[in-house]
Structure 1
Amino acid sequence: MKKSEIISNKLLELLFSSSNKTLQAYTLNQRLSIPPSEFFKLIFRLCDEDLLIIDGVFVKLTMAGEQRVLLNVNNRQVKKTFIPEKFISKTELEVNE
């Protein structure tokens, strides 16, 4: 996954987790910690893809943006940890043991 895709997913997740799916552009830029030039390129690209709406200083997530966030969350794979058999005990420990 490209760095720009990771940052755009993070931006969409930040908007999705906000109370009314709207944040100020300044707040988003501060939370992403990227240079303003890259930030505005990203915002306008996502706006062209109809994932965001720019309303003055506010950036709002559209329904398409919400669906993309939900798809990204559902597509993440949970990695199961593998514990070797030699570390698994057959008996349980007693209290204070």
Structure 2
Amino acid sequence: MSTPNRKLPAGAYESLRGFKGQSAAAIHMIQDKAKGKVALVEAQKLMAANPEWTSLIYKALMAGTGGIVGIDDADEDWLDRVFEGHPSAV
């Protein structure tokens, strides 16, 4: 759920949470494979539910847009900054 002063649709923030969750799931799998798999499925559900935003965020991350070099550095402020003015922005 996006906070009241967010500039993008809720799906954009959900997709970002999915990316971050996928990253965290990889770490969880090292410690507890079963919990890691559950976390991975949940993260991928968030991304699959928002395919347009998942694609846009992926491309921005891979290009290093906004000075971000990895998912750990990307946050909602980065998302707002990078996609400000996007046709889907609210």
Do Structure 1 and Structure 2 share a fold, with TM-score over 0.5? no
**Between structures 1 and 2, the one with greater helix share:** 2
If the length of structure 2 is used for normalisation, what is the TM-score?
0.35
Considering only CA atoms, is the larger Rg found in Structure 1 or Structure 2? 1
Q: Using CA pairs below 8 Å that are at least 6 residues apart, which structure has the higher relative contact order? A: 2
Instruction: Name the structure with the higher strand share.
Output: 1
